[in-house]
Structures are given as C-alpha cells and as structure tokens.
Structure 1
Amino acid sequence: MSFITAPAPPDTSTAVRLVQVRKTYPNGLDQTEALASVSVALRPGSFTAIMGPSGSGKSTFLNCAAGLDRPTSGHVVVGDVDLTTLRPDALTQFRRRHIGFVFQAYNLVGHLTVAQNVQLPLLLDGRRPDQAWQDHLMHAVGLDGMADRLPGQLSGGQAQRVAIARALITRPTVVFADEPTGALDSHTGQQVLDVLQGAVRDLGQTLVLVTHDPRVAAVADQVLFLADGHVVGHLEQPTTELVAEHLLAAAGR
C-alpha cells in the first residue's frame, strides 16, 4: 500500500519509502512477525502520524524506517539512498547526517549546555556548526537566551525543544519522533506540537511521528494505522474525532 500525497519529480518524489518491509524476531522455536510486507511512501515536507495498539508494529516501523534496525527483508529508502544496502559504519554516518530523532525521554547530555546538545550531531560527525543556522533554530523553537543553560535547569517542554533543535541542526532528510509529547502535560505538549508543525510548515521538514493520542495525530497531514504488522488504514486531513472513530472501528474488528 503506497501513500504519496503530492506529485513530485522522480528523484525527489519521496523522502522515505518502505518497499515490502518485513521484520521478524525470534520467539522460542517460532518467529514473531512485527512488520508484514509493509510498503509506504512519504513525500518531502509531509507530516505523518503513525498509530496503532500496543504490539501493532509502530516502534518497529519507526526503527526500520530510521535505520535503527535492519528489516528481515524488503528495502528502506531515505531520499535516494537504500539503507538496507549500507554497511554498519556507512549506515551510522548516514543516520547522523540525514536523519533526525526526537524521543519521549529527550536524551540530552546532562553535562553539556543547551547549545552543545544542539550541536552534538555535527560535532560527532566532525563538522563545525553553522552559527547563523543554529541561532535561527534556537529562535524558531523558543530557546532564545537559553544557550548556556544545562538540561537540569530546563522544564520538560524546554528540554524537548532542545531535542527538536538537535534533530534539525543537520538539515536532515527526515525527522522521526517517538511519542515526543508523551511525558508532557497537555499545555506543554501542545506547545511542542506547535514547534514540530512549524518545522514542517516553515522549514519544509519531513516529519514522521509515532503517537497513541488522537489529538496529537490530528495535527498531522495524514495518519497511517497499523495493526498486527500491517498498514490497515490511511486518513488524510485528520481531525481528533475522525482519528478516534477509526481507532474504535479498528478495535471492534
């Protein structure tokens, strides 16, 4: 099943493409199939939410699409690079340069300042930060005046903003976010969502977000629903009500 929401030239028509991706894990003498021949294509500059019940394959989808885990079979293409053909060291370098990550737990380095945490992907890659771009990101995510603070001096919402700026600093092909508002109260979570939406709208960023919350999914351009390792639904221009109805219908199957 393929989902491309807008046409584009062949070399830039998709930011992320999964082709017949299957992922299995050992389970005693048997195997558990976490993803079952999933094919999905996401256009550049799109905001896609991934939803489904526990065990549906959401985390496996994100891990395979982001190159954190290799599929058992099939292909994962980010931009024009097939991740499944890369050797481990080349894959690590590609992720560092072309893929951004935002996690529920922030994953900031406690002894580094806000600015140093934001710069970290570049520093690990031996590259010098572009100060103008860093300043622009810090302003865009609402971190003006916080460059010298340590993570322990930040609220949860501020820490997640640092994580978002860090994910964007390399100008990645795609950013993957795993429950980025899950540890935040509703007001702060909405502020973080606004920042993520701004990255898509103002920076042309491609964003793939895993969530269980219909209110979070409703801000995306489209929602993909997973169940038992399969893509079982697709909703464009979602609303909270439509997402909730789809989840209820899927639960009643």
Structure 2
Amino acid sequence: MTISPTTGTDPRVTPHPGPRPTVQLLDVHKSYARGPGTVPALRGVSLSLTAGSFVSVMGPSGSGKSTLLHCAAGLDSPTRGRVVIGEHDISAFSDDALTRFRRDQVGFVFQSYNLIGHLSVADNISLPLVLGGRELDPVWRADLVAAIGLDGLLDRRPGELSGGQAQRVAIARALVTRPTVVFADEPTGALDSRTASDVLDVFRRTAARLGQTVVLVTHDPRVAAVSDRVVFLADGVVADDLGAPTVDEISSVALGLGR
C-alpha cells in the first residue's frame, strides 16, 4: 500500500517544520502478552520525521524507546496504527514484502554490532547486498569505507577489531544499500567518549551527504545533543519534543521524566 502526496497526512499528526517526511508513525500502539493479559509498550505514538534529519529518542527505562525503534524499522509490528516510510505503509506489508523492503530501504545498527565472526570486514559490509541479490558498486564501497574510516581493515575479522572499529563496520553495513532511513539502538553505549564522538560524526556526515533520516535511541544527553531533534518518551507516549537542544536542556527534561 502506498500513500499519495496529497492524502498521506494524518490529522492526528502535527507536521514537523521542514521537508516532506520520510518516516511517519501514525497513532502507533504496541502491547505484549504477559500472563493472562497484555502490557502496553506504546500507547498512541505519532511522529513525523523529515529527510536528512538526525533525531534522538530518549526516556526512562521501560518508556518504549526500543519498541518504537523496532516498530518504526519494521522489525516488529504495531498492535494498532501505521508506520509509513517514504510513501510505503509498511504496516500493511506481508512478511516477505516487509523483509525485502527493510533489506533495501532500512538500515539498522545494534549496540552489540551483530557482525558475522567468520566473515571479513569487507564481506560483513556487503552482506545486505549479497542477501538481496544485488551487485556491490566498488566505487561506492570505497567511498563509504573511506568516509567511515575503515581503510586498511577490510581483510580483518570482527574479532580483530576494537569496539569503535566494529561499530564503524556495523554502520557501513547499514549504509551500504543507501537506505532511506537508518535506525540505531544505543550505538555508542559500549564505546568510550572519544570513539563515541567519532561514531556520531560518521552518522552525521554520511546522513547529511545521502539525505537520510537517522533515528537513534540513547540515554546520554551528550549524544542526544548532537541531534537536530530529541523526542522524549514516557509510559509509551511522547512526553516532550525539543529542537536543537543543549545538553543542559536535554538533561533537565530527562531528569523531570525520571531518566
């Protein structure tokens, strides 16, 4: 299912100023079974994220951050509501169609990297293309490797890399298909401050260059302050939404929410 440019908006969503949105969550609910009942993780979240934007998602433990990210990325399905990437309502896709769309249009970076131990760095980066039956553009890979700072490491295995290097490989793998949107779940959580800063710089530069939307879950106000926008969740709903905030402003809101 697609949404046309003239009918794709939802009256429940206040459009975020700027270019046309590339990611929309429309009244998204998500509940999980627990015993005889269910526990809500998201309770009617509506967001509109624009092309080329860098958005951080924050909130207390259990606020629904990772659930939001997984639903937005198509890794989990909403109990109710819609997720739209570009003009595609991915919540209406079949499992096979969603797998293909996610492989081609969505990049995901996990805190644990999720690299394949017996594959080289080069093969880990190209894996999404191999799985999709697509040819790797050697010029694009060389450009990506240089931009992310992986020159000289392509023949190594993940076990031979530092944490920062492994995360850079994970980012390169997420970007190699030139996806519309990149999601990252605590991508700097296991890194020292200098390496984390370098990784964030990679996100910003590559996203700006490719016009991608980046959505990043973090608990660190210093990481969130690199973003264009910070969305705060609490009890499964959007509790606040700040544009270009400072570390102090982010910390103040987070403290008020009980981070």
Q: CA RMSD in A?
A: 1.3
- 1:7-156 counterparts in 2 under 5 A? 7-8=18-19, 13-156=20-163
Distance 1:220 1:6, change over 3 A: same
Is 1:169 the counterpart of 2:176? The answer is yes
In structure 1, runs of 5+ residues without a counterpart are none
For 2:116, the aligned partner's letter is V
Match for 1:249 among 246, 252, 256? 256
Q: CA shift at 1:86, angstroms?
A: 0.6
Question: What is the TM-score normalised by the length of structure 1?
Answer: 0.95
Q: How many residue pairs align between the two structures?
A: 248
What residue number does 2:206 align with? 199
State the Cα distance separating 1:117 from its structure 2 match. Answer: 0.6
Distance 1:135 1:155 in 2: 21
2:202 is aligned with 1:210: no
Deviates more, 1:25-34 or 1:217-226: 25-34
> Secondary structure of 2:21's partner?
coil
Structure-2 change in CA distance of 1:71 and 1:45 (3 Å): same
C-alpha distance in 2, partners of 1:62/1:138?
26
CA distance in 1, matches of 2:112, 2:224: 19
Report what 1:219 is aligned to. 226
Distance 2:234 2:141 in 1: 39
Contiguous gaps of at least 5 residues in structure 2? 1-11
CA displacement, residues 138-177 of structure 1 (integer Å, 9 cap, x when unaligned):
0000011211111111111011001101100001010000
Per the TM alignment, residue 134 of structure 1 is displaced from its structure 2 partner at its CA by 0.6
AA aligned to 1:67 is G
The 3 A distance-change label for structure 1 pair 215 and 2 is farther
1:234 paired to 2:241:
yes
The alpha-carbon deviation at position 98 of structure 1 amounts to 0.4
Alpha-carbon separation, structure 2, partners of 1:4 and 1:222? 14
Runs of 4+ in 1 over 3 A off after TM superposition: 1-8
One-letter amino acid of the structure 2 residue matched with residue 125 of structure 1 = G
C-alpha distance in structure 1 between counterparts of 2:14 and 2:54, whole Å: 12
